[in-house]
Amino acid sequence: MARELKKVLRKTENFAAIKGKVAAIMNTENSYYVSSMNSVKRRHLLDLDKYSTYGLSSAGAKIGFPPQFIERYGEKHPEGAKKILTDLYGDTIAKMTDEKNTRGAKKLFVRDFYDKHYALLTDRYAVFDDNEIVDFLQQNEYLMNAEEFWYSISPERFHVRFISKNKLYVDGDPSPLSMCVFVDNSMCGMSAFRIRFGIYRWACTNGMISGLKEFEIVREMHKGKKEYVEIVAKALEDVPKYEQMLLNMVKKASTTEASIYNLDNEKAKVYLQKKLSVGREAADKILTSFKLYGGKSKWDLTNAITDYAHNVNLDDRINLETKALMVA
């Protein structure tokens, strides 16, 4: 099973680049249901080399096996791993197709991209794919008027940032800020469809996602049919209000002492490690950056955390950007 490359954010000033990336992925899509171990698709589910990294984890969660163990065991004992998978799939599918099953799930739904299994779901999963996302996002005038678009798109995760042209300013910070709309989706069950608001700092391209519930304006699970165009349009009706709320939040943060301001270096590092779930080396880098940003305010620490977030994988980056202001 091949390891995927680290996912990074890319910048474009043209939404067509994002649409093209999605189209390229969708050209490799092949999804199907497996309701019987006699299915012609069965043999492919027993081949470890046919799984992406996330796909194996998805299968493990659905069927009940430790994916890392199967992967490592399969490297030296491929037939043994195949036997384990055969037994597990047979037992699971028998249970899933049992009419007495109270969950009512009757089939495994397999999502293939690039000729690999990227996810195992059930027939309760409502398909809402990234090509549909881009189709209705481009109908929104506010989003299409963004000055920059940052994106990372794979079968597992659609993540796009729309950076507003409107510049905002905070006393003491020479860099202009802009409203940032964060849009996430997953075609593999990794996450719901989400739209969140945050701030983008132009000088260092730091992104801060507000972790507060009032700034997560859309969160829709992949269940049932929904009118997503209307959902997005309604969510973005009050952009000026949210923009002002975010600016007020940043202004307050810039005049409020950081949580670690009165702590010595050792205690500050321990605090950062615990609150951000990072290692000691990461905490040390954040602390050093905090001092370079000014070393006093919550906004200084927020920028230090989001600056460090540039160096980690996308999932960890989003997590740090969401926690930053709350931890600061």
pLDDT at 53: 86
pLDDT, tens digit, 9 for 90 and up, residues 254-293? 999 999 999 999 999 999 999 999 999 999 999 999 999 9
Rounded to the nearest 5°, which phi and psi values hold at 200?
Answer: -120, 130
Burial string for 3-26 (b: 16+ CB within 10 Å, else e) reads: eeeebebeeeeebeebbebbeebb
pTM strictly above 0.85: yes
Q: List all residues 6 or more positions away from 221 whose beta carbon is below 8 Å from its beta carbon.
A: 192, 193
Residue type, 124: R
Give the per-residue pLDDT at 40.
52
Q: Using an 8 Å Cβ cutoff, are 163 and 149 in contact?
A: yes
Please state, in angstroms and as integers, the Cα–Cα distance from residue 45 to each residue in 62, 75, 121, 247, following that order. Answer: 13, 16, 13, 50
pLDDT at 15 over 90: yes
For residue 122, give the H/E element and its range.
strand 116-122
The helix/strand/coil state of 3 is coil
Averaged pLDDT, 312-318: 90
Q: Is pLDDT at 97 greater than 70 in this prediction?
A: no
Torsion 243-245-246-252 (CA) sign: positive
Element spanning 12, H or E? strand 10-12
> If DSSP codes are grouped into helix, strand and coil, which group holds residue 196?
strand
Residue with tokens 């409502």, as numbered in its chain: 126
pLDDT tens digits along 185-204? 999 988 888 888 889 999 88
- Going by C-beta distance under 8 Å and a sequence separation of 6 or more, which residues neighbour residue 267? 260
Residue 36 has pLDDT above 70, yes or no: no
Cα dihedral 232, 235, 238, 239 sign = negative
Q: How many angstroms separate the CA atoms of 127 and 186, rounded?
A: 10
> What is the overall mean pLDDT for the chain?
85
For residues 328 and 258, is the Cβ–Cβ distance under 8 A? yes
Contact 74, 65 (CB under 8 A): no
